[in-house]
Amino acid sequence: MDQRNKSKRAAYLGLLTALAILCGYIESLIPFSFGIPGIKLGLCNVVILIVLLLFGWREAVLVSAARVVVIGFLFGNLFSIAYSMGGAMLSILVMVLLIRTGKFHETGISAAGGAAHNIGQILVAYLVTPDLPLLWYLPILMIAGLITGILIGIAVWAVLLRVPSFPKQI
C-alpha cells in the first residue's frame, strides 16, 4: 500500500471514529426509556459494523475502543468504560466469526453482535460484583440486543447499498 492510500485510509478511519463518537453523543441526548436500565439503541454500532465490513477487525477494534473511552469519559465513568469495552470487544469477536463464515447478512451479524455486546457487559458486571441475580437480567438484555441489532443491521445494509465501491478505493 503506497503512502497516499495509507493517508487516505487513516483519514477515513479518523472520520469514522469521530462519527461513532458523535453518534454516542446524539444517543445520550435522546431520552430512550424502555423502562429497563442499560438498554440503548446503539447508534455507534452502525459505524463500527461498517468499519468491520469495509476495513477489517483490527480497525474496528481501534475505532470501537476509541469510541468507548471517549464516550465513557464524556458521559460516563470508569465502570461504564469497563462494561462498554467488554461488550464491544465480545461483540466484535462474534461478528468477525460470523463474517468469516460468509453465510450471514449484515442484519444477522449485527443482531448477534448486539446480543454478544450485552453478554459481554453482564460478564464484566459479574466479575466486578459476583451476584447471581445479575444473571437473571441477561435474557432481557439479550432480547433487547437482538432487536436493536436487527435495526442497526438494517441501517448498515442501507448504507452499504449506497457505497458499493468504497472498499475498492481504499
165 pLDDT tier (thresholds 50, 70, 90): low
CATH code where residue 18 lies: 1.10.1760.20
Q: What is the pLDDT of residue 4?
A: 81
pLDDT per position as a tens digit, 131-160: 767 778 888 888 999 999 999 999 999 999
Averaged pLDDT of the chain:
89
Contact 119, 86 (CB under 8 A): no
Residue 170 pLDDT exceeds 70: no
Residues 6+ apart with CB under 8 A from 157: 105, 106, 107
pLDDT per position as a tens digit, 102-131: 999 999 999 999 999 999 998 998 888 877
Task: Give, in order, the Cα–Cα distances in Å from 164 to each of 113, 147, 157.
Answer: 23, 26, 11
Count of the separate structural domains present in the chain = 1
E strands, 7-96, are: none
Q: Which domain holds residue 85?
A: 3-169
pLDDT per position as a tens digit, 30-54: 876 666 666 788 899 999 999 999 9
Rounded to the nearest 5 degrees, what angle is found at the Cα of 42, between the Cα atoms of 21 and 125? Answer: 100
